[in-house]
Structure 1
Amino acid sequence: MTFFRKLLLLLAVLAGNLCYAQIVVTYPVPRIVVQRNNSNQALLYVTGRVSQPADRMEIRFIPRAGEGGTAIDWTLLQNQPTGGIFYGAVTVTGGRYDLEIRAIKNNAVSGAVTRVEKVGVGEVFLIAGHSNAAGGYSPTIDYAYGDQYKDRVNTIHVGDYYGTWDKYWNSGDPSFLPSFQPTQLCDTCGIAPGVSMRWFWGRTGELIVKNLNVPVLFYSSAFGGTNIEQLYKSAYDIPFDHGFVKYEYRFPYTHIRAAIKKYIPFTGLRAVLCGHGVNDRNNYGQDFKFQYEKVIDKSREETGYPDLAWMVATECYINGECWGQWAPGSSVERHITRAQDELVAQKPEVYKGAQLNLILNDGRNEDALHFNQTGQSKAAEYWRQAVMSENNPSKNFLTSSKPLMAKVQPPVIPAFNIASVQSGDWDNAATWDCKCIPSYASTVTVSAGHTVAIDGNVFARNIINRGKVEYKTKAVVQLSQ
């Protein structure tokens, strides 16, 4: 092929790239589960970028077969999107969907229809507790029903411990946690922010999906070897010594704080599922209750939601026993169980969790404490019973609790005139004077002496090149002018 013919071919490819229109949905993402309200609905926010001018954006929701939900045909998401950014919200019924979004110009579809698969409206939980909530003392049990329900059980996988997750453990900085990219809770998956394995929570989620026919997503702040006293002290900056828990980074409470800051705004939250007690056996019952209440209060303060629900497991047995004093000088009684029962009875928005004291030694390892596989199976079932209020029918959890709903902020509309301030990648906000990523409405200037690299889909109204634009293998430039 001659040089001239190669040049013509390259120009043809670039011309196609420049003319092609595209919609990119930035939220929701595949496999998200957004917390539903008690009417089995959620206001689902949708935002993203559109490369072509549009009079309006339309959206529809297609229920996935056998996964609940109610179809929504093409409906208005937003009129007159500005600056290449669209944003709107639709009320969606509990279930799982594939959503499609399109741009309309002059009453005709403009460009391609974009699809986001496995978008869920269901139940979201944050796990808390010690090693029996975190796992690792027996092989993790499998899902009970094969492939029938497990695809609807989701999490944020923590990934390789020796990567950035290790940096999180050695700093408490949530920026080192995985980004918000949900995945199915797989055989080798951990549960962000704090747990490296699935444990019995996969089975728990599966049972809840089977009962409710909505998807489930778990976060976990469980931390083996800890108790309520340490959780309380780390939440309120009260120093303590521990062989491996790093108070200086405010563990173990840092896991709860990280989930609140990094993930829960995207999904909302039904409740915290907490299994503490066995490591608090030497604490006074009244102190255990006080510390538990203060942890609950702190979580409500940091979410800005005073009605955040907690489920408190009945949990403290070793060898079927758990005795101690309620207060100094008092007689011996089942002090931890009393505290847990009083929390459920007296603290607003606290519900009866799993009755884990029913797991006797046949469900535990030789230490009579940690769950074996039989114990895991029972724990999964007892947590299902708690969520379904089968263990406390007088106080129905799913109809009485007041879930925290997702809060997705409207996007910032990028500046219309943007210039590079340094060499760098197009998709790096630090490259541009606006500290943003250009949109289809932006006139973009690559300043003299700067090299801007493009590797993927990028958007602009037009490009004024006074420096150098470097096109990588996957470069697709989409201009609206």
Structure 2
Amino acid sequence: MLFLRKLLGIIVILLGSISVSLGQFSITSPLNRAVYQRNNAGVATITVSGTYEQQVDRIEARLIAINAGQGNPGEWSDWKTLKDFPTNGGFSSSMTINQGWYRMEIRGVLNNNVVGNIASIDRFGVGEVFIIAGQSNAEGLFNMGQQGAQDDRVNTFGNANDQINGGTSYATLSPFTQLSANTYIAPRGKGAYCWGKLGDLLAAKLNVPILFLNAGFNGTSIESWFVSSIGGSASNIYLGGYYPNRLPYSGLESVLQYFVPLLGARSILWCQGEADNYPFRTSQSDYTAKLQVVISKTREQLGKISLGL
């Protein structure tokens, strides 16, 4: 009898925990602090997806501007149907969102009654996405007295993902974060450097969130970028030998292949040329021709992916 009472107690506890978990909703996309590239009309269409563990006949969403004047939720200012009759515990739909910095909330409805919890993404936005490439003045350096972004809307993917050893899937790494002084700017950027200050200036001028990704590589010449962009191994003029794994271009390539399909991008900010001034003394015509090959390669890899157009 004692055994049966204990077993009954365990069953009650388990059933209780199941009833709680069945009400749970979660958002898998967008990720917290992700910034999506706006088009020239100031909007972006993004994928919103998640999971639920209780029967619902629709999923609703709404947006809340983080601060007054920093976003217009428009049609999503109040609860609106995102997905009717979702199935199999998951949902995915699209939202067209005005530029701005928002909190997103998701809830489930059954027979016009709200069920379960309200899931939320604390911060995400539609604004400007920039990819940085070049050499040391692009990559940055820790402990240089750099200033992190003061504006909460300036962000990055704050996990280094160096391609020297082949790199790691970005999906397995910690996601987006505010750009503080000593934050990595994936894949190689070392600290806020000048980019934190630039982010503040852009956020203030454009009144939209900003996101930086940094594929800069110290000491590289236009020859390094050219050779690696066409699949070769570039020589390291300072340390000897060759850069591994098609660096430096493969770092930029990883951003183009993972982040741009996910977020879009406005442009690549190119900061490179010191090594071509000295010791190479690269001619203007040679520099232009090789940079054009690099540009063409990025466009080839982007294909029809939409930038900020």
Q: Above 0.5 in TM-score? A: yes
User: How much has 1:40 moved relative to structure 2?
Assistant: 1.1
Q: 2:94 aligns with which of 89, 96, 117?
A: 89
Matched, 1:31 2:25: no
User: How much has 1:138 moved relative to structure 2?
Assistant: 6.7
Aligned counterpart, 2:15: 15
User: How much has 1:304 moved relative to structure 2?
Assistant: 1.2
Tell me which amino acid in the other structure corresponds to 2:102.
Y
Tell me which amino acid in the other structure corresponds to 1:175.
S
Structure 2, unaligned stretches of length 5 or more? Answer: none
Aligned counterpart, 1:303: 302
1:320-339 aligned at under 5 Å gives the runs none
Matched, 1:267 2:263: yes
Tell me which amino acid in the other structure corresponds to 2:38.
R
Mark the CA change 1:246 to 1:24 in structure 2 (over 3 Å): closer, same or farther: farther
* TM-score for both structures, normalised by structure 1: 0.58
| CA–CA distance in structure 2, aligned partners of residues 237 and 37 of structure 1 | 32
Tell me which amino acid in the other structure corresponds to 2:64.
I
Aligned counterpart, 1:187: 181
Q: Report the secondary structure of 1:30's partner residue.
A: coil
Aligned counterpart, 2:164: 169
User: How much has 1:18 moved relative to structure 2?
Assistant: 1.2
Q: 1:214 aligns with which of 192, 208, 212?
A: 208
Tell me the percent identity: 35
Check the 8 A contact 2:181/2:193 in 1, yes or no: no
| CA–CA distance in structure 2, aligned partners of residues 190 and 302 of structure 1 | 25
| CA–CA distance in structure 2, aligned partners of residues 14 and 140 of structure 1 | 54
Per-residue deviation, residues 204-231 of structure 1 (Å, max 9, x unmatched) = 1011111112111110010110022210
Aligned counterpart, 2:289: 290
Mark the CA change 1:10 to 1:65 in structure 2 (over 3 Å): closer, same or farther: farther
Aligned counterpart, 1:251: 247
| CA–CA distance in structure 1, aligned partners of residues 265 and 234 of structure 2 | 30
Mark the CA change 1:6 to 1:143 in structure 2 (over 3 Å): closer, same or farther: same
Q: 2:66 aligns with which of 51, 64, 79?
A: 64
User: How much has 1:114 moved relative to structure 2?
Assistant: 1.0
User: How much has 1:182 moved relative to structure 2?
Assistant: 0.3
Matched, 1:277 2:273: yes
Tell me which amino acid in the other structure corresponds to 1:103.
G
Tell me which amino acid in the other structure corresponds to 2:60.
E
Q: 2:199 aligns with which of 205, 209, 222?
A: 205
Matched, 1:403 2:308: yes
User: How much has 1:84 moved relative to structure 2?
Assistant: 1.4
Q: Report the secondary structure of 1:26's partner residue.
A: strand
Deviates more, 1:133-142 or 1:112-121: 133-142
User: How much has 1:251 moved relative to structure 2?
Assistant: 0.2
Mark the CA change 1:199 to 1:169 in structure 2 (over 3 Å): closer, same or farther: same
User: How much has 1:5 moved relative to structure 2?
Assistant: 6.5
Tell me which amino acid in the other structure corresponds to 2:42.
N
User: How much has 1:267 moved relative to structure 2?
Assistant: 1.2
Mark the CA change 1:224 to 1:245 in structure 2 (over 3 Å): closer, same or farther: farther
Check the 8 A contact 1:157/1:178 in 2, yes or no: no
Q: Report the secondary structure of 2:60's partner residue.
A: strand
User: How much has 1:177 moved relative to structure 2?
Assistant: 8.1
Check the 8 A contact 2:142/2:190 in 1, yes or no: no
Tell me which amino acid in the other structure corresponds to 1:100.
E
Question: What is the alpha-carbon root mean square deviation over aligned residues?
Answer: 2.4
Per-residue deviation, residues 62-86 of structure 1 (Å, max 9, x unmatched) = 1112461113211111111122110
Q: Report the secondary structure of 2:190's partner residue.
A: coil
Q: Report the secondary structure of 2:63's partner residue.
A: strand
Aligned counterpart, 2:85: 80
Higher RCO (CA < 8 A, seq sep 6+): 2
| CA–CA distance in structure 1, aligned partners of residues 170 and 125 of structure 2 | 26
* TM-score for both structures, normalised by structure 2: 0.88
| CA–CA distance in structure 2, aligned partners of residues 95 and 16 of structure 1 | 41
Mark the CA change 1:215 to 1:284 in structure 2 (over 3 Å): closer, same or farther: same
How many residues were matched structurally?
298
| CA–CA distance in structure 1, aligned partners of residues 283 and 194 of structure 2 | 30
User: How much has 1:246 moved relative to structure 2?
Assistant: 4.5
Tell me which amino acid in the other structure corresponds to 1:135.
G
Tell me which amino acid in the other structure corresponds to 2:153.
R
Q: Report the secondary structure of 1:198's partner residue.
A: coil
Aligned counterpart, 1:140: 145
Check the 8 A contact 1:140/1:198 in 2, yes or no: no
Per-residue deviation, residues 366-418 of structure 1 (Å, max 9, x unmatched) = xxxxxxxxxxxxxxxxxxxxxxxxxxxxxxxxxxxx517xxxxxxxxxxxxxx
Q: Report the secondary structure of 1:263's partner residue.
A: helix
Matched, 1:154 2:150: no
Deviates more, 1:33-42 or 1:173-182: 173-182
Aligned counterpart, 1:118: 123
Check the 8 A contact 1:174/1:258 in 2, yes or no: no
Check the 8 A contact 1:174/1:262 in 2, yes or no: no
Structure 1, unaligned stretches of length 5 or more? Answer: 160-164, 309-401, 405-481
Which ranges of 4 or more aligned residues in structure 1 deviate by more than 4 Å? 2-9
Q: Report the secondary structure of 2:216's partner residue.
A: coil
Larger Rg, first or second structure (1 or 2): 1
Mark the CA change 1:12 to 1:67 in structure 2 (over 3 Å): closer, same or farther: farther
| CA–CA distance in structure 2, aligned partners of residues 271 and 86 of structure 1 | 32
